[in-house]
Structure 1
Amino acid sequence: MDFELSEEQDMLREASRGLLAERAPIDRVRAWAEGDEDVDPEVWRLTAALGWPGLGLPEEYGGSGQGLVELAIVAEELGRALGRGPVMPTAVVGRAVAATGTPAVRAEVLSALVAGAGWATWAFAEPRAPWSLDGVRATARAEADGFVLDGVKTAVQDAGGARWLLVTAREDGVPASFLVDRTAPGVTVRRQQVLDLTRAFYEIRFENVRLPGERRLTAGPAEIERLLDEASVLRCADALGVMARMLELTVEHTTYRVQFGRPIGSFQAVKHACADMALLVHGARAATAYAAMTADAGAEDATRAACAAASYVAAGAGQVAARALQLHGGLGFTWEHDLHLHLRRARADSVLYGDAAVHRDRLCTLLRGASAAA
């Protein structure tokens, strides 16, 4: 499999990196970390103009019709720059609506997402429950010509200003997807205090939230699992960007930090530690790229590739962060150094859409099933 970017993909990477460097530099990221806004309006407008929200959406609704590979390129740059905003949550919800939404819902939602007129996010995880279908306890019951939702969701990214919430709930015991207006009666949104200072996460309560029947997507458990895989791959790409940037910061630090009359990067033990970090970054890049490519190709092993990438990157992000902190010494613990922001994001990425244990367990189940079928 060829992991080299095409000319168009390379242009997308360069344009994304340039926009974030110019409009969302690290000092601006720090300012956001001290505020309450989910989104910088100017940056969101520029990303919409660049086509990020519609990158993976059908052309008939104004999107670019690209795949998970292109979305992963943008996600990596967002992670590298500690980018804030709902680009990836919106992309995930948009792909779900495009694949399983009714024609009326697709017409209403997708054009607005592409234009940047609003954003969406996925309310999936629940308190003290695994990030899997087994952890879904929210309920949806049929009533008249619609549904009534009840339940609590946690770690919902950028829900404070979202226009739509994609909610996963159980209808007659079976997981299903529903598109909810954030301002609907019975929806309560509360911001959470989390380790990651570069993104905003929320708890959402649904109490007798009434929905018209057309707001139920046709997605069943298999489609929801597939969406979880795609979201996990994009999370891997974000973590890859964070890992790569931590490696850059560490190599830079070990180059100019002098001890015993010479740069610490000249010592063998430090070289080995940096080499270990580089191996983890390269492995994460290969695993993420393969998972994105197999998903776009509809390959038979796409699900296994997503689980393998998610488990590897979730564990690798923590290892790279630990090495970076160790090699920065006391400086790495200070608030003034940018490293702590990357450490926080890496830690959040290691659990979003399931930690390493969740994906390893699922991967083992898939491999056992394949072995039994053979």
Structure 2
Amino acid sequence: MTSSIDQVLQRAVASGAVPNAVAIAADRNGVIYEGAAGPREAGGSDPVGPGSHFRIMSMTKMVATVAALQLVERGHLELDAPIDHYRPEWADLQVLEGFDGDTPKLRPAASRATVKQLITHTTGLGYWFWNADLVRWERSTGTPNVLSGSNAIFTAPLTADPGTVFQYGINTDWLGKVVEAASGTGLDVLVKENITAPLGMDDTAFLMSPEQRANAVPIHLKGEDGSWAPSEIELNQSPDYYAGGHGLYSTPWDYLRFQRMLLSDGTLEGTQILSKQTVDAAFTNQIGALDFPASIPTVDPSATHDFNLGPGYKWGYGLLLNTRDLPGMRRAGSGAWAGLCNTHFWVDRTTGITGAIYSQFLPFVPQEALDMYADFEKALYASL
């Protein structure tokens, strides 16, 4: 059955749906599949593979969330505490209600947002590519978006009152700041000492070495003729802060070790990262009656297509949760997420399977790439 999975990747690259693809999967005993198709860089001869370096973007969020949950377990961080208890500057944020001409109309929030609301994307913070008001606010104030690496992004307003809506946004970048305040340690050091080094994830970091950079997959863009070409797009390599929301580079081999830790109740090969109770909570609905939006229209087509998962999704701690079985694919209660440059992972604790698929291009989630992801997952489950 491995050949049927290989064919999914090869077809997607040959058709031009993606510039390259790496897929990988494991059960609780170890790797059960790895495969790749296409060159590391369009037009080149160096093949992409599970040891290639990718900007995993928002797959960073679960790593930063685990760092926060470790502090909760150790009694250094309280989920129900107000964010401004750890980061007093949070109290300066207000809710954006609209504009008077080009002047933003702001008002105080109706309640003090909590650390848990950061973890669950319910503070009211958003991202520019899914929120037109934030695009307009950035333009009117001259504030760069979150990919700039600038601390200026932490002045961005809420666009809803805390606790009233699930809105995906820069919450995990704020969580990284909270984690640093609660621990007295930089997020980069905390992640390395407590997560990546214990798990043997030696190729995962916020900044790449020269050797890793030479092995990195560039972000590709599709030309008008439908062909892929590598771009010069890159994250800031001298950022003001380490971005808990999107800053990590990793390899499919490395990140699979993190996935396997989650699959195995917080422990991998005798190394405990989280307690089973905490992992159970991460895979449990933490947003109550709120829902992950069934449809999110894009306001920046260069960054993302519309994101239309449909109904039936919740959010745990750092994870998107499907509330129903996906036919031929993951079971209900699986946790998953993705990165803006088109990297995706899921952890199905019911079946005992975790998988991931990687490419490196913009914009996010074109339909032909979503088809490849689904075909990979279905072929994998059919092979079990």
State TM-score, norm by structure 2: 0.25
Structure showing greater radius of gyration is: 1
TM-score by length of 1: 0.26
Between 1 and 2, higher relative CO (CA 8 Å, sep ≥ 6) is seen in 2
